[in-house]
Amino acid sequence: MIDCQLHVYEVGHRGPPWTYKIEGVDQATGEQQIAAMDAIGIDGAIIVSNFTTCRYHTSYVPGIQAGSR
């Protein structure tokens, strides 16, 4: 099973600042998302740069990968 729209973001990352505070959890790191996916049997995901949060920079997303996923 593939999750087709996964948003990842973390507090204090080294890239450009987020442009918007996401309501809900303070952060959703790649590691946290992988653990949540494993818990419910999701094999992979497509990571999306949220325009509201990232605007036109996508520098955060390429660093979020997990091995063969």
pLDDT band of 67, cuts 50, 70, 90? low
pLDDT tens digits, one per residue of 6-51: 777 777 777 777 777 777 778 888 888 889 989 999 888 887 766 6
Phi then psi for residue 2, to 5 deg, are -120, 130
Cβ contacts of 48 within 8 Å, gap of 6 or more: 5, 6, 7, 61
18-21 own/partner pairs: CB under 8 Å, 24+ apart? 18/53, 18/54, 19/52, 19/53, 19/54, 19/55, 20/52, 20/53
Residue boundaries of the structural domains of the chain: 2-63
Q: Can you tell me the mean pLDDT for 57-64?
A: 70
pLDDT above 60: residue 69:
no
Does the CA dihedral 32-58-52-20 come out positive or negative? positive
| Residue-level pLDDT at 17 | 73
